[in-house]
Amino acid sequence: MKRITMGVIVSVAVMMATTAQAQAPSWTVPDESKRCPSKWGATDERGSANHMKPASVLNAVKLIKTGDVIELAHVLGPGMAISPTRRFDMHAKRTFMNAASNERGSNEELIVTELGQVGTQFDGFAHQTHRNSWYNCFKVDENATRGGFSKLGIHNVGALITRGVLIDVAGFKGVDMLGDTYEITVEDLQGALKKQNMTLQPGDAVIINTGWGKLYGKDNPRYMKSNPGIGVKAAEWLVTQDPMLMGADNAPVEVSPNPDKQLSLPVHQIALVVNGIHLLENLKLDELAAKNVHEFAFMMQPLKIQGGTGSTVSPIAVR
């Protein structure tokens, strides 16, 4: 009886160990000792925005041949796709009619919203954490105030002008739109770049077309429920290319939900927390893709929100 009991105990222990191993998450956040200090220095708050230099501007300007300007932002308004935890309320105000002889009237608006995280939006480093730790291992509880975060505020970013590269994964796969939860792989990115006869350069604004943006403003529930996007491996490969930012025509840039049910938007941590690379979400890429514009001058400036986590933006592509 004792022998049987011991055998049962051993079997149960083996099964528990096997189950725990099988359930281990497919990716974990690196220890602080492995990701800090940042390659930009222990006190750095700009991360990949450090690529913004006169050389990046001059490199971008060389790509302008026709003067064609393509807007990459959706309109902020009641028809936009938005997280159910966020809001965008605009109230027009007829203020007054001035008494002077020229009868000058004034109008303005009151907008109540998460200004950094609605519409076409640019994620700053204060937006995402691993537990209490941000990019470059700054600590949230040491820098949170009622008036904004004292470290990593979006006001640090400034103007970004660089070479933009559209990686048209939907076009490479021969579809108008990738599947609802399709995970873009390294092979997809490399295959699309090869088809476009392009290579990435350090400091690029890397923009990924999934076709998902076709749903924006037309089928917002489906747009927000899930989306195709890059997975962990693809994100890690893009990080090795040293971009200024990574963007896409979906809400989180990455595939959502992640195929690994234990992970919640891991690419946000890979980009913003671990490597200090900005994300650009909800881009409008239909015109860019339709015109087969794969290389362009990318221009954008976030709002200077003191201590903000991000900014609604209106980037443009100029060719």
Percentage above 70 pLDDT, the chain: 93
> Is there a domain that residue 110 lies in?
no
> Is there a domain that residue 16 lies in?
no
Type of residue at 243? P
> Is there a domain that residue 8 lies in?
no
Q: Of 54, 246, 53, 276, nearest to 164 (Cα)?
A: 246
Q: What is the pTM of this model?
A: 0.91
- Token readout for 53 is 């230099």
pLDDT in tens, 91-142: 999 988 999 999 999 999 999 999 999 999 999 999 999 999 999 999 999 9
Q: Which CATH number covers residue 136?
A: 3.50.30.50
Q: What is the pLDDT of residue 21?
A: 53
Mean pLDDT for 2-25 is 55
Q: What is the pLDDT of residue 116?
A: 94
Type of residue at 190? Q
**Count of C-beta atoms within a 10 Å radius of residue 171:** 19
Percentage above 90 pLDDT, the chain: 91
> Is there a domain that residue 12 lies in?
no
Our count of domains for the chain comes to 1
Mean pLDDT for 68-95 is 95
> Is there a domain that residue 109 lies in?
no
Q: How many residues does the chain have?
A: 319
Q: Of 233, 162, 147, nearest to 202 (Cα)?
A: 162
- Token readout for 237 is 């490969």
pLDDT in tens, 262-273: 999 999 999 999
Q: Residue 20 pLDDT > 50, yes or no?
A: no
Q: Of 183, 187, 173, 167, nearest to 255 (Cα)?
A: 183
Mean pLDDT for 83-94 is 94
pLDDT in tens, 194-241: 999 999 999 999 999 999 999 999 999 999 999 999 999 999 999 999
Q: Residue 3 pLDDT > 70, yes or no?
A: no
